[in-house]
Structure 1
Amino acid sequence: MSPESIQQQHMSYLGDFLKLQQAEAIYRRSGVRSQEVEQHLHALKCNLLENLHASHEQAVQPVLEALADEQLEILQNKQHMIEFMAFFGHQFCRTKPFRDVVIRSLVRRNAMEIGVADAVTHAWWFMSYMFGMSFGHSLYLSRHEDKHALLINDTSVPFITSDHPIVNVHPCVSETTFIAPEHADLYYPISPRIAYIICNSGRFISGRNTIDEATVVELNTKLASQAMVHIVGNSESAILPFQSLIGRRAQKAQKQREGKGFN
């Protein structure tokens, strides 16, 4: 259901992986064994996808550094905005919490649905990349309708981050039920002082927003509750108040599913 240009891009990237698989299959059938070839195949299988993500991270580094320095104007450059939105999409879609939520939501009522769910699970390593690119593309296209803002935190409570660094902090997000939220306020802390948010609600205005301590605590709480294992701060005192919240949303959702008798 993605635009044709994005579908073509997905298939182009997938083609690189299929060529590697085909080359390995030819090598296995040949009966020849070479330690050097084995090492190259192993390195390619380990690094091909990681190299793609590394290229996105390298391209967006100047943007992140500028945003951390409150230079929001850098995103007026179209290429910088494209690179940032692609990175933003991957930061949301490549995490284990996102993967687990999606896979848990797949129904397994009959043989066909079980087959599809198993295929999604086995192919997640590439599907997550597709989701990230599609999500980033959508965010780029809607950039004039959504509000893009810097949140500036000059309080005594620093921003924290986590193993799921972008979360939807809109109040409509359910803590117990996996349903599509009506609104998205996508919050991404960049440094202990600066965060970026993409809103389709009216909570923040486009541009720079200086926020108070209560808002910082609220955002840290929501980020920690959607983390899976780790939260990260610039000091022990920054993370201790939120440590007990790690994974709270997933735990509540699990209890809700068990209460309703879901498999």
Structure 2
Amino acid sequence: MSQKHLEVKKRHHYVWASYLARWGSGTNNVFYTTKTGKIAQDSVRAIVVEDYFYKITTLTRWHVEVIDRFSRKSPDDLHQQHMSLLREFLKVQQAEAMYRKSGKLNQEAELHFHALNCSLLENLHAEHEKLARPVLEALAEENLGVLQDDSHMMNFMAFFGHQISRTKPFRDGVIQVLSRSNALEIQVALAMEHVWWFLSYMFGMNLGRNLFLDRRSARHALLINDTSVPFITSDQPIVNVHPSVSMTDFTPPEHSDFYYPISPRIAYIICDSARFTAGKNKINEDAVIEFNSKVAARARVHIIGNTSEAITPFQNFIARSYQKAPDRRVVA
């Protein structure tokens, strides 16, 4: 067995570090808000990261049933994809269970299973990032034509969907508002927390597919910001800026204008509304301030900019979307 199989990827970024580097002014250092409300400057490798965030947990029949129930709400072909992927993860779990049942333990096997559990989902996200890289590079240079190629659009929308659902703020927001009014709801909520690593990937698959299939009916636009106020980003970089969406509630939206800042100057938006026309749009300072405020409202901890001055005006908006949401988590 090669040593590559024994490498443990424990530092899991839920926002792509290479993406954040566009706010580094040619370096890997960005300005960001800390947990204590201060502004710091550090490498993109130090933020929006949590050890073992995507680590696989052991699934019981009940956990699989909960996943299956959510998956069955999807179109049948997508449900089949979900369950096919789940079976691949269960094969690893079954192999580890057989190994442990044998009673013949050895250090290399222990390292191998630990590496698999830590790296399998992280590797899937890394592959989406790799496929989206040429698209993001082109969009950052105002080349919207890259998306005329359906393969590029498919890769970008898959990445886009996962970047919405794979983050810690998205996980915490969903878990926080789950109803726990009776025994069954408590069991389901606890199961969802346990299997969130898979559910988040499944939800990302659904979002990416829907965005791709709707690509000709929704308005896809590149926003160009030549004002004195740069775009900022956050630990939840893709946010719904549709006018009907509240900045102070974490509730399921009826409409979406998915906004994604790509650099301090360029952003991408997928609109249900008619606010922007398809193609390139230059926006004014009021719109930049509005979008920066909404990015900060959906952030949990970190808003990120190319200067400290870029993020200071938006510190008071951080986490507003979560402040009125009822916390229904059960403390054991």
TM-score, reference length from structure 2: 0.75
Match of residue 236 from structure 2: 164
Structure 1 residue 178 displacement after superposition: 4.2
Match of residue 142 from structure 1: 214
Q: Deviations over 1:31-83 (max 9, x none)?
A: 11111111111111000000000000001100000000111011110111111
Matched, 1:249 2:321: yes
Q: Deviations over 1:180-212 (max 9, x none)?
A: 323211100001110000000011110000001
Cα distance between partner residues in 2 of 1:262 and 1:16: 30
Match of residue 194 from structure 1: 266
* SS of residue matched to 1:208: strand
Count of aligned pairs: 258
Q: Which runs of 5+ in 1 are unaligned?
A: none
Match of residue 95 from structure 2: 23
Cα distance between partner residues in 1 of 2:158 and 2:143: 19
Matched, 1:14 2:109: no
Q: Which runs of 5+ in 2 are unaligned?
A: 1-72
Indicate if the aligned counterparts of 2:249 and 2:322 stay in contact, CA closer than 8 A.
no
Match of residue 84 from structure 1: 156
Matched, 1:128 2:225: no
Structure 1 residue 105 displacement after superposition: 2.6
Matched, 1:215 2:287: yes
Structure 1 residue 176 displacement after superposition: 3.8
Cα distance between partner residues in 1 of 2:213 and 2:225: 28
Larger RCO, structures 1/2 (Cα 8 Å, 6+ apart): 2
Match of residue 111 from structure 2: 39
Matched, 1:151 2:211: no
Matched, 1:106 2:202: no
Cα distance between partner residues in 2 of 1:217 and 1:9: 40
Structure 1 residue 7 displacement after superposition: 1.5
Cα distance between partner residues in 2 of 1:37 and 1:27: 8
* SS of residue matched to 1:67: helix
Indicate if the aligned counterparts of 2:247 and 2:297 stay in contact, CA closer than 8 A.
no
Identity, in percent, stands at: 62
Match of residue 52 from structure 1: 124
> What letter matches 2:292 in structure 1?
N
> What letter matches 1:10 in structure 2?
H
Indicate if the aligned counterparts of 2:247 and 2:294 stay in contact, CA closer than 8 A.
no
Cα distance between partner residues in 2 of 1:170 and 1:188: 13
Cα distance between partner residues in 1 of 2:278 and 2:302: 30
> What letter matches 1:84 in structure 2?
F
CA RMSD of aligned residues (A): 1.6
Cα distance between partner residues in 2 of 1:109 and 1:183: 28
> What letter matches 1:17 in structure 2?
F
Cα distance between partner residues in 1 of 2:250 and 2:307: 33
> What letter matches 1:13 in structure 2?
L
Cα distance between partner residues in 2 of 1:207 and 1:107: 41
Structure number with higher helix proportion: 1
Q: Deviations over 1:101-132 (max 9, x none)?
A: 22223222222221111111110011000000
